[in-house]
Structures are given as C-alpha cells and as structure tokens.
Amino acid sequence: MRASAGLVALCSLTTAVVGDNAAELWEAGCSAFTLQDSPGVAVAGTAYYPAGALVNITNAFSSISTDTLPAFCRVELLITTNATSGKTANTEVWLPDAWNGRFIGFGNGGWGGGVNVADLGFVAMNQGFAGMSTDTGHSSNALNGTWGGPHNDDAIIDWSWRALHLSVGAGKEVVQQYYSKPASKSYYLGCSTGGRQGLKSVQEFPEDFDGVVVGSPANWMSHLQPWSIHIDLNVLPAGSPQWISPELWTGIIHDEVLRQCDNLDGVVDGIINNPLVCNFRPETLACRPGQNSSTCLNLAQIQALHQIYSTYYETNQTYIFAGYYPGGEQGYPEGLLTPTIEQISQNYYQYFILNDTTWDPTTLNYSIIQAGDESPVDLNAIETNITAYAGPGHNGKIIHYVGWADQLISPGNSLHYYETVHAYMQSATELNIDDYYRLFTVPGMQHWSVNGYGANAFGGASQAAGGTPPLSYDPVHNVVSAVVSWVEDGVAPDYFIAAYYQNNNQSQGVAFTRPLCKYPQNVVYAGGDVNQSTSFSCV
C-alpha cells in the first residue's frame, strides 16, 4: 500500500515537473520569437500566457477577460498593406502550446476595426488551433463607419479583403516558424462582416482556406444597406400613423404570428421552424371601431407590415433584397428602429459611396442603389463562380448558417447567395453543391449570436465568447469540428444538434436541444419530449 501510494505521488510529481519544463520551453520560445524573411510583416510584440493566466484584452471591436484558457503565445504583427501609402493593419496570431496542427482565421463585424480577441480565445485556444485575426486596417466599433470617407479607398480596400488576405499569409508564416512546421490545414470562422470576409476569401483567394464557416454574411452590401433604410422608412417617423412601437412588435404582432404559424411544424413552442411556409396576415389585427390602439393595428401599420414581410423588396423591376421573415418580431424593433435610420447604412452611403455627409436617407432612390452597385471599391462578396475554391484543384468546403429570426440582415440574403451559387455552379460545372457548400438554417436565432429564442449554440462565431458554447466539440455539436471533419475525413454534416441555454445563459443550464437542418430541409416535430433533439427530424 505504502509503496504504491509513493509511486503515485512520484508519478504526479514527475508529470508536474515535465509539464512545467515544457511550459518554460514554450515561454522561452514565445518571448524569443522573431519572424524571418517576411517583408512587410513586423513583430510588434509577443506575450506568453500560462494556462489559467488572466487574459484581459480590449480593443475598439472586441474584448476578452478570462482566466480559463490553456497556455498560449500571443504574437502581435504590424502588416504593411500598401507600401506606397504606408498603410498598415494590426494582426494577431495566438499559438497554443497544445497545438492541434491546424490554422484558423476569424472575421470581424459591421464596420468594426479590431482584432477578434474573443474568438481567438474562446474558439481557437480552447480547441487547440493556431488562430489569427486582423483589425482590417483601422480602429472602430462595429457601428461607426466614418473612417471610410471621404473616399478613403486604402482603408476600404483593407476592410474589404486586403488586410485579411495578407494576414492569412503572414499568420501561416508565423505558425510555420514558431512550431517549425506548417499548419496541416487552414480554416475560417466569421459572422456578418466576418461572413462576408469568408465568402470574399472563397471567391478571390481560394488558396487561403480549406474550409470556411460563414454565418449570416453581410456580403451584398450595396443591397443590404438600402434595404435597411427602406425597412426603416416604412415605419418612420416615430409617432406617425405607420409607426409601430417596440411593444406592438414584441406583443400583439409576435403573438399573432405565433397564433397563425407556430403549429405548422407540429409543436406549439414559440419557435417558427420554417418561416417560408408562414403566410402571415396582419389584417387579423386591424382595429375595430373604438378599440384601444395599443391592442390592434391601423391601416397604415398593416400596409407597412406587408412591405416589411414581403418576400422581396422590388423597385424599378429590380430585385433588391429579401424582406423580414415571420417569427423574428422580438428582434425587429432593434433592427428597424432606434428610432432613427440605422447608423451602419447611413454611414455606408455618406462615407463609402457618396462622400456626402449631408445626404438624407429619406431621399433614397434607385439611382443611389445603383451608385452602390457601381462603386469603384467593391464592398460586396457576391461572385457565384467559386470553381477555383470548390473544384478538384482545391476541394474547399463551405458551411454557411443563418438565423431565421435575423433582425439585421434578412436570412433571405443567405438563401439568395446559396441559390445563385447553386444555379451558376450547376450550369457551369459537373460539381454537386452538396459536395462543397451546405447551408443550415437556425430557427429563432437572431443576428450574430447569444440572442433570440431557439437552439442557437453550436460553435458558431462569437457564441462561446458570449456565454453560449457548443455542448461538445464533436462534429455534430460544433460547426468548426464539422468543417474540419468534412475537409480532412470527407464526412459532410447533414445536420447539427444545437442547444438553447435558459435565457441564453450557460450557467442557467440547457433548456432544450434541437437539430439544425440543411437547407432546404426544416425542423419538424416527430413526437416525444419537446426538449430533446431526438424528438425532431429534418424533412
């Protein structure tokens, strides 16, 4: 007994010593790290964080404050993006001691300029990837786009694609020199602007990534921005007959949508699983003579709702963008009305397209939309020919997800891009879309993450950082593992199992799990416990 107890003690001591020695070696390697033979890329700093150390970093776009990460080396880079003008971008590469051999890049959001330190920590470090993210060449929060003007093309190009593309090259080089071997494969995760960045890489720089996960991409800027303004104009100004207060949206309108459509998927649970089959009729809410107006809608409000929910917004015989979908009313007050025109959209025209800070969004017309379409600096990522990425020369994979209750970018935009790629690629190649591009719709999920009512935790961008991590890191629960397994093992995801944490708060426990289905399938109740994913199927 004594002897074996001693042996156990000795073994744990030995392990501890070896572990500490290893950490010391990593720490020494981190602080001594310099980058060789990389013109235009300078190491601005390195810092080693032992396992469990406080990581407390804040920039204009992203922040992290935690003491739960494994040991890693943080390398900060200054990358010259235009040598003629001296333009630069700040980029970081985080290198875990316990490296899984892979590289992953992360995207940004809105007009944001700041390294995505949240996903570097909560996705890359926690899953063993060497992670990279860039500030896209400027510093700002997600809403403020004044840096784009007047005609600040160098900054806009960096935000559009250049800073990320150069950072991928620099990041892979850092990985190779730090670990003395290259990353085996390269991945990407991003949502919103991050989704656009991922699609831009697929379209323009197919070699950058082997597999990308894009969420709710803001990839059709020249149509998304006028759509946002158009949606706002349907109900503004506040106090006018057509104005719809937040209380009406989240109260009677949402309730009526649920009354009309919640049971179409077989279960009355407050979640619209397939809004495409919900033909919401707001007329049922029309005010009776003398009825209290906070319990019903006037005719101007009903007309506005028809515009807002129309499956697409058409002007001048031109498809502009998809409308809102029934079911997301809890978020629509935020998306629609602050109660001003959305800052992101106003900034788009004033600073990026028109160089006219006096431009009045209420005068939006078709020629303004065309000015966006024809902008010399391309902010879109809508190319449908992705043969170079998806074809046999590269075999790249795309997992795309979108929340059906997205309040900032209509999920119809995701369907539109997926289907335009589908149509083009089928007509121009022998490839089968299912072999390289799969779209998953998420009932009840709003834009970005950690909001809305529905199973919305599956390892997507910023989810773990926001307190809603995936239930496990296996490919059926974690979208990043799924793209790895698709690229490396040829196992494509057919569905995911996502969790809804009570009040979108992990510490309050899992309220229910649900499958996420591959478009065009949708979640349908099959019978059994409504809180178990196994009670649902994809049809």
128 versus 443: smaller Cβ distance to ligand NAG? 443
- C-alpha distance from residue 32 to each of 28, 35, 47, 51 (Å): 6, 10, 10, 19
**How many whole angstroms from its chain centre is CA 254?**
25
Question: Which span sits near ligand NAG by CB under 6 A: 36-44, 150-158, 177-185, 415-423?
Answer: 150-158
**What residues contact residue 384 under an 8 Å CB cut-off, 6+ apart?**
420, 421, 423, 424, 425
Q: Residue 489, interface with ligand NAG (CB under 6 A)?
A: no
End-to-end CA distance of the chain: 60
Q: Residue 294, interface with ligand NAG (CB under 6 A)?
A: yes
Question: Which span sits near ligand NAG by CB under 6 A: 5-13, 96-104, 326-334, 504-512?
Answer: 504-512
Helices 299-309, 221-235: crossing angle, 10 deg rounding: 170
- C-alpha distance from residue 534 to each of 433, 499, 506, 523 (Å): 27, 12, 21, 11
Decide the pairing of beta strands 397-403 and 437-442.
Answer: parallel
Q: Residue 150, interface with ligand NAG (CB under 6 A)?
A: yes
Q: Residue 281, interface with ligand NAG (CB under 6 A)?
A: no
Given a contact cutoff of 8 angstroms between Cβ atoms, the answer to whether 440 and 517 are in contact is yes
**Least distance in Å: CB of 45 to ligand NAG?**
16
**Least distance in Å: CB of 502 to ligand NAG?**
6
CA distance 311 to 328: 14
Q: Residue 85, interface with ligand NAG (CB under 6 A)?
A: yes
- C-alpha distance from residue 378 to each of 219, 222, 358, 374 (Å): 11, 9, 23, 8
Q: Residue 432, interface with ligand NAG (CB under 6 A)?
A: no
**Least distance in Å: CB of 36 to ligand NAG?**
26
- 232, 406, 449, 481: the active-site residue: 406
**What residues contact residue 2 under an 8 Å CB cut-off, 6+ apart?**
none
Q: Residue 534, interface with ligand NAG (CB under 6 A)?
A: no
Closest CA to 109 of 136, 130, 72, 90: 136
Given a contact cutoff of 8 angstroms between Cβ atoms, the answer to whether 26 and 99 are in contact is no
- 232, 447, 462, 485: the active-site residue: 447
Q: Residue 512, interface with ligand NAG (CB under 6 A)?
A: yes
Indicate which single residue of 80, 245, 355, 537 sits in contact with ligand NAG (rule: CB under 6 A).
355
Q: Could you say which residues in the range 43-72 bind ligand NAG, by CB under 6 A?
A: 54, 56, 58, 65
180 is catalytic: no
447 is catalytic: yes
Q: Residue 529, interface with ligand NAG (CB under 6 A)?
A: yes
Point out which residues bind ligand NAG (CB under 6 A): 54, 56, 58, 65, 82, 84-85, 144, 146, 150-151, 154, 157, 292, 294-295, 316, 355, 363, 365-368, 385, 387-388, 505, 507-508, 511-512, 529-531
Active site residues: 192, 406, 447
